[in-house]
Structure 1
Amino acid sequence: MATEIEHKFVVRNNDWRAHAHASRDFEQGYLCGDGPASVRVRIEGEQANLNIKAARVGTTRAEYEYEIPLVDAREMLATLCVAPPVVKTRYWVAHGAHTWEVDVFGGENAPLVVAEIELTRADEDFECPDWVGAEVTHDKRYYNHALAFAPYSQWGA
């Protein structure tokens, strides 16, 4: 079984931008709402994947990902999604022994910026950069699936 181990944090300022070494645009949509798993189609630049993740909040959960043809992904995003797609630009930032992923959301989720760090073990130590704010790993609202159905721009409403 594939397992994802990650921590999510809000980003407190733009200091990370000076250290970003790559970026890529993402568009992802969800093929089902509530259930035991989230099923999404994602376009990353010119690549496309179908992804299935256990629908649970926390640092560790099952995850499966399969490459699919880009034309199929575009068609799925246009016709099969049960909520508007989530759009974001992901930046990669090296810090200490790890590479952080910083997601800058667009559309209805702007101006949300979230940093994630993926680990190989649940008990692995890592160093937080100064630009990382509060941890939100256990706050369901910050998960992409939740952002598709309840965008950040609607949180104050």
Structure 2
Amino acid sequence: MPIEIERKFLAHRAVLEHCRTGVCIVQGYLFTDCDNTVRVRRMGERYFVAWKGKRRGVCREEVEQEVEPEIGAALLATISPLNRIEKTRHRIPVHGHVWEVDLFAGKLDGLILAEVELGREDEAVVLPAWVGREVTMDERYRNSRLAARALGFLTVAA
């Protein structure tokens, strides 16, 4: 089973100077509990369905499959717009890693999260100056949780 190893951080607005081109993402959750998450995502014009297993530290099992636009659109339509996430993703290379920086819109406007995928759980990573507090283990910043809540309870890096 493929394993996703990633760390997640709040990002400061200074990152915006590196966000030149991005892709629009709309995603929602078909199912989520403490062990499993099933997500549908529109990324640009493409659609994906993903299953993610229970997080174990910075690791979790993940399977993602591209689906036909008609299927993806139909699945996304089953999720209330109030329970979807809208964001623009920017990919920024820094010191041998590619950071995915998500600028949230809609009810989460102002939230900026930066994630870096690693090859190993103990892999060293140089944190860019625009990276703030790590939120990898903070359940409130899981996208499935963000889809169901407003920004009021979250900390947004300056």
Residue 26 (structure 1) aligns with: 25
For the aligned residue pairs, the C-alpha RMSD in angstroms reads 2.0
The Cα of 1:138 is off from its aligned counterpart by: 0.6
| TM-score, structure 1 as length reference | 0.90
Partner of 2:139: 140
What does 1:63-142 align with in structure 2 at a 5 Å threshold?
A: 63-80=62-79, 84-142=83-141
Distance (Å, rounded) in 1 between the aligned partners of 2:11 and 2:105: 15
Partner of residue 10, structure 1: 10
Cα distance change, pair 114–152 in 1 and its aligned pair in 2 (3 A) = same
Aligned partners of 2:154, 2:90: CA distance in 1, in Å? 25
Q: Which runs of 5+ in 1 are unaligned?
A: none
Matched length: 155
**2: CA distance between counterparts of 1:80 and 1:131?**
33
Query: Would you say the 8 A contact 1:57–1:138 is kept in 2?
Result: no
Deviation, 1:36, is 2.0
CA contact (8 A) 2:84 2:148 kept: no
Partner Cα distance (1:120, 1:78) in 2 = 35
In 1: Cα distance, 2:112 partner to 2:154 partner:
15
Q: Structure 2: 5+ residue runs without aligned partners?
A: none
Contact 2:140 2:154 in 1 (8 A): no
Instruction: Tell me what 1:54 maps to.
Output: 53
For residue 101 of structure 1, what is the amino acid of its counterpart? E
Secondary structure of 2:6's aligned partner: strand
State the shift of 1:35 in Å. Answer: 4.5
Report how far residue 30 of structure 1 moved.
0.5
What is the CA-CA distance between 1:64 and the residue it aligns to?
Answer: 0.5
